[in-house]
Amino acid sequence: MAPDVTTELHRLPTALLRSELRSRLAARIHDSSELRIGHYSSIARSRLETLFPRETTRAAVLIPLIDRGDDLSVLLTLRADDLKHHAGQISFPGGRLEAGDSDAIAAALRETEEEIGLRREFIEIIGVLPDHVVITGYRVTPVVGLVRPGFGLTLNPTEVAGTFEAPLRHLLDPATHARGLRKFGDQEVETFELPWGSFNIWGATAGMLLTLREVLGGSRIHAD
């Protein structure tokens, strides 16, 4: 019997998981009106929207999936402690779209090379996720790419303090998801978080990974 893709994503053989990534992202039409605010619990979206800026700036990040054949892992960055926004947090490489960027994919590739030295010739773009708005006023397009082995990383210390990898299976497994409390303005909001070892992935980064899980056929996490 074939695996149940909807509920058993984290149990799929790597070849099938890779195939699902390619086919589902390739088939998905990006709708610019489909905007996400992450995955939060115990607060209505209408209330949550009031905490986020109405005017946004376009940005893009790369979700790098390292493909070493027998498994897939997600490459994440630790933001430098003295950055103006999201200092010290876990994120994906990326930043705002600039005049020379033809689209969000071009911006994500450029920013990735500038921040961590991962060259675009090692990256196969397989699709994009719905835009996510973040509390600092950016509307971020998550670009998903498979990264082949042999790459090297050179970190820009003004932006990135370090990198680490987390197994994609672990992040797709609902049993590994946790909940935490975060402060947004004067509101205390329950968030969905993705712990891995000594790291805790939350906020927009966790939201993008949970959206990836949803696009792959996993059930959507709803507010209580």
Beta carbons within 10 angstroms of residue 137's beta carbon: 14
Q: Does some domain include residue 64?
A: yes
Beta carbons within 10 angstroms of residue 154's beta carbon: 11
**Cα separation, 191 vs 171, whole angstroms:** 15
Closest CA to 37 of 213, 224, 216, 210: 210
**Predicted confidence pLDDT, tens digits, the chain (224 residues):** 344 454 578 889 999 999 999 999 998 877 766 777 766 655 556 666 677 777 889 999 999 999 999 999 999 999 876 555 444 589 999 999 999 999 999 999 999 999 999 999 999 999 999 999 888 889 999 999 999 999 999 999 998 999 999 999 999 999 998 887 777 667 777 788 999 999 999 888 999 999 999 899 876 554 44
Q: Does some domain include residue 8?
A: no
pLDDT digit string (tens) for 106-151? Answer: 999 999 999 999 999 999 999 999 999 888 889 999 999 999 999 9
Burial letters for 56-86: b for 16+ Cβ neighbours within 10 Å, e otherwise? bebbbbbbbbbbeeeebbbbbbbbbeeeeeb
Report strand pairing: 131-133 vs 35-36: parallel
**Cα separation, 17 vs 23, whole angstroms:** 10
Q: Does some domain include residue 33?
A: yes
Structure tokens at 70: 């027998």
Q: Does some domain include residue 222?
A: no
Residue 145 confidence (pLDDT):
98
Residue 164 lies in domain: 14-215
Q: Does some domain include residue 220?
A: no
Amino acid at 79: R
Q: Does some domain include residue 66?
A: yes
**Cα separation, 5 vs 20, whole angstroms:** 9
What does the angle CA 163 – CA 168 – CA 174 come to, to the nearest 5 degrees? Answer: 120
Residue 86 confidence (pLDDT):
47
Residue 212 confidence (pLDDT):
94
CA-based Rg of the chain, rounded to a whole angstrom?
17
pTM attached to this predicted model:
0.89
Q: Does some domain include residue 111?
A: yes
| CATH code of residue 111 | 3.90.79.10
Residue 9 confidence (pLDDT):
84
Where do the DSSP E strands lie in 151-212? 160-167, 178-184, 187-196, 199-201
Structure tokens at 22: 């390619």
Q: 75 near 90, Cβ under 8 Å?
A: no
Q: Does some domain include residue 9?
A: no
Number of domains in the chain: 1
Q: Which helix (H) or strand (E) holds 207?
A: helix 203-215
**Cα separation, 212 vs 87, whole angstroms:** 24
